[in-house]
A and B are shown apart, each in its own frame.
Chain A
Amino acid sequence: MAAAPTILERPQRWDAAFDADMTDADVERLLATAPFSAMDAEKFPKRTPLREILRNDTRILKFRKGEIIVRQGDYGTSAFLILNGASRIVLKPDLAPSLLGRQAPGKKGIFRTLAQLWNGSRPPETFSRSQLQQAAGLGARQTQKDVRVFLQDLPRILSEHRTDTMTAGDLFGEIGALSRMPRAATIFADTDDAELLEIRWQGLRDLMKYSDALRTHVNKIYRERALASYLRATPMFQHLTKEQLDRVAEQVEFATYGDYDWSGEYKRLAQAGTVRPEKEPVIVQEGDYPNGIVLLRAGFARLSQKFGGGERTLNYIGAGHHYGLREIAHNWRHKDAPVNFKFSLRAIGYTHLLIVPTRVMEEIVLPSLPKSDLPPPLEIVKDDLDSPPHAEKGVRENVGVEVLEFLTENRFFNGTASMVIDLDRCTRCDDCVRACASTHDNNPRFLRHGPTTGSLMVANACMHCADPVCMIGCPTGAIHRESFAGQVVINPDTCIGCKACFNNCPYDAIRMVEIRDKNGEFMVDQEMKPITKATKCDLCVESYGGPSCERACPHGALTRLNLNNLDALSKWLKL
């Protein structure tokens, strides 16, 4: 007899409020504060009323003078509205990495490199007491809910850096929150009574949706600060005059698809084995008339085509790529024989995109493009499977459909330096693991094991993601992008072992390790609990010659590949 099903109330969006301590009084106060006081509550739907958005998608934070609110380069999922007091934004020059909890970029010196010759016998993950003290110029304060890091020598910082003050009513962080871009500047509290409202992205999205004023305000900021520079850097628009570019920018539409917290959802679906393209939000439907070109600003999308009863993945595209140019250019040149979209485009996880309407493309952009920059004519009769968009010629022959499905299902396209192993050549000697351990405190930073397809394995090592969800929520800024090459690294000296990155990583590539003193004894706190640090692959950023795992493989079976696009994989397979 089949077991009786477990009956639950269907999970709702606000089952887990951003801050369970938000009170009715707090909400009332917010409703009386600009810009919420100017919002028309009637415009909000019954399922997501303004009051409930404020109750469930926001939280009130109090900062003391000098406490860092957001760090330049961090990834965040929320915007901030100043309720009381003032905050200060650092304009130029940027704060030193040590003041942001990060390690200064650079290679190990010759003596530190040679010291590894005799440090090999040390116990793993040893730290000195001095390493665990806060860097000069920084202090930390434990609040009831989190850890606040503060700048100690404010007068000196203010004298050495150009800054600007923001006061009650100012909103910041909205572009980073909506477009999943790194924070553009560091902002810290400028008064002891600074009170800020943190609005998580879901709330901000809904507030914008139903409040014309907020939407207009945020879109205006977006167009002024981010859009113009983005369009200028996009090759397709480089032939436009400033006036033409302004006209394009005015008519660009923004859209977000999918779930910002995709990593948690992905983990759940992957465990249940139900990751299916059919469930992903459709951006463009195969067979639809092309109304505009889609530019991916952040996140990833899957190009697929109907195949049997399901969808066959043809490629995935990431930030900086676009879709629809071939079709729109074709229709512009052959008005008598228009074509529709040949593939579907679906958001994988979270996707933030810009849409340039077809009319704008036809009137402004396409006439400006030299003939050589226009896509080749579409051969409508021919099945275009051999040349999916955004892949170099020959990719299809080297990267089979099953590999493509494998990379997409496992979200490996996120990796800019994924560890790929050719099992046909790997002798399982573990030289890569030993090399990693020798280079990193005798503790290997990866597992030579992971999902496989055919003879390809993507090992369980940090992939240095294009969309690094691990960097969201680090209270001390210990996890960050290295400023030169962009590797995601953890500064062990400022990591407090809070597990935020460990819990966020959808690939389980971060490990918490218990640290030891120079005698090999575990370090513990006053409650005798072990002190832990987050560790992961840092691509041997401090060593000469590149990742030691790759250099240590005697059989050329291991490489670090950018799986953001298929070209790198295709080339490696073809080598």
Chain B
Amino acid sequence: MKRFRRQLLLGVFALIAATFAALWAHRRFHHALPDYAFLTGWVLFVAMFVLTFFNARKKLPFLPLGKAETWLQIHIYLGFFTVVLFLIHLNFRLPPGWFEITLAWLFALVSASGVVGLFFSRTLPRRLATRGGEAIFEKIPALRHALKTAAENLALGADAQSPFIAEFYTRRLAPFFVGPKNLWLHFFESRRPLNALIAELDDLRRFANDAEREKIEKLAALVRQKDGLDYHRSLQLALKLWLFVHIPLTYGLIIFTLLHIVLVFGFSGGAR
């Protein structure tokens, strides 16, 4: 979509321009201003404060605070620019002392988790859409249970009467249907477990009559559906979990930042 390309171009251009302007200002005023670290610190704090407002916007959807989409764009590009501000604030050196190092690590982790989140948000939805079989995350266990029941009825039900299918189900398929499987392999787009299971099901055909072959077909279809559910669970989980890293770390960063400000004012008589 052209709109998103326009947004990207505009954002990247603004980021590059702001970065160059900040670096130029750093070179120009680094030694010239007496309270330079104080100034960069407050600018960095204001930028971080604005970044946290994105979450506040999400919590107040009923207030006319503009589109979340606009807020996210600001969050992304200001987030990248905050990294530049952070490096300038550190004067491109590692900070001294355990407290400042912890603060720097928190900042790095929040930034990195944000970048990972952005990468996930821009790549995983397309993979989910391409795979199809859309499922709401919270409903996946119920859907999985329905598939398991259907497979169980086919293999072990009252009219099953195929010992080798029942044996295969108990040995190979029951553990597959009972819970989520292949979390990491799905994340890395591996089809190996599915192909292996389907191949094993195909092998059963040599022992099967027509009715049993039909049953094997149906079981294979259920296996594919279950695999699709696992795929959705894996990727949707990734899309949710990164926020469980990003947001708690952000709270930690805010607390450490506030302490940092108190310490700076309490023990150094203002930054130099």
Contact = CB atoms under 8 A, between A and B. Distances in A.
Interface of A: 113, 116-117, 422-429, 431, 434-435, 438-439, 447-449, 452, 454-455, 457, 543-545, 548, 550-557, 573-575
B61 A555 contact: no
Instruction: List 10 tightest A-B contacts by C-beta distance, closest first.
Output: A435-B61, A423-B129, A545-B64, A554-B72, A575-B3, A544-B64, A455-B129, A554-B68, A556-B69, A548-B61
Given A544-B63, A548-B62, 8 more contacts: A424-B129, A428-B136, A455-B129, A545-B64, A550-B67, A553-B69, A554-B69, A573-B1
Interface in B222-243: 236, 239-240
B187 interface: no
Contacts of B236: 428
Contact of A427 (B132, B134, B239): B239
A535 to B, nearest CB: 17
A516 to B, nearest CB: 20
Given A457-B134, A554-B69, A428 B125 contact: yes
Interface in B69-111: 69, 71-72
Given A435-B61, A449-B134, A556 B125 contact: no
Contact of B2 (A425, A431, A544, A575): A575
B58 A552 contact: yes
Contacts of A574: 1-2
Nearest to B54: A554
Interface of B: 1-4, 58, 60-64, 66-69, 71-72, 120-121, 124-126, 128-130, 132, 134, 136-137, 236, 239-240
B58 A575 contact: no
B125 A438 contact: no
A309 B175 CA distance: 46
17 contacts: A113-B62, A423-B129, A427-B120, A429-B239, A429-B240, A435-B58, A435-B61, A447-B136, A544-B64, A545-B64, A545-B66, A552-B68, A553-B69, A555-B72, A555-B125, A575-B2, A575-B3
Nearest to A423: B129
Contacts of A431: 58, 61, 68
Nearest to B126: A424
Contacts of A117: 60
A552 B72 CA distance: 10
A545 to B, nearest CB: 4
Contacts of B239: 427-429
A458 B18 CA distance: 40
B61 A438 contact: yes
Contacts of B3: 556, 575
Nearest to B61: A435
Nearest to B4: A556
Given A116-B62, A548-B61, A575-B3, A428 B69 contact: no
A551 B2 contact: no
A555 B137 contact: no
B38 to A, nearest CB: 34
A113 B136 CA distance: 30
B127 to A, nearest CB: 10
Contact of B125 (A425, A550, A573): A425
Given A439-B62, A551-B68, A554-B68, A575 B1 contact: yes
A385 to B, nearest CB: 25
Contacts of B124: 427
A448 B69 contact: no
> Which of B67, B129, B137 has the most chain A CB within a 10 Å cutoff?
B129
Given A449-B136, A551-B68, A426 B125 contact: yes
Contact of B61 (A422, A434, A457, A556): A434
A552 B61 contact: yes
A557 to B, nearest CB: 8
B74 to A, nearest CB: 11
A435 to B, nearest CB: 3
B143 to A, nearest CB: 12
Contacts of A555: 69, 72, 121, 125
Contacts of A425: 4, 125
> Which of A116, A447, A555, A556 has the most chain B CB within a 10 Å cutoff?
A556
Nearest to B239: A427
Contact of A423 (B61, B62, B128, B240): B128
B61 A113 contact: no
B98 to A, nearest CB: 36
Contacts of A551: 61, 66-68
A557 B69 CA distance: 9
A447 B60 CA distance: 20
A554 B128 contact: no
Contacts of A426: 125
A142 B58 CA distance: 45
A33 to B, nearest CB: 56
> Which of B60, B66, B134 has the most chain A CB within a 10 Å cutoff?
B134
B243 to A, nearest CB: 8
Nearest to A545: B64
A424 B122 CA distance: 8
Nearest to B136: A449
Given A431-B58, A574-B2, A452 B68 contact: no
Contacts of A438: 60-62
A439 B61 contact: yes
Contacts of B62: 113, 116, 435, 438-439, 543, 548
A113 to B, nearest CB: 6
A448 B132 CA distance: 15
A550 B121 CA distance: 18
A427 B137 contact: no
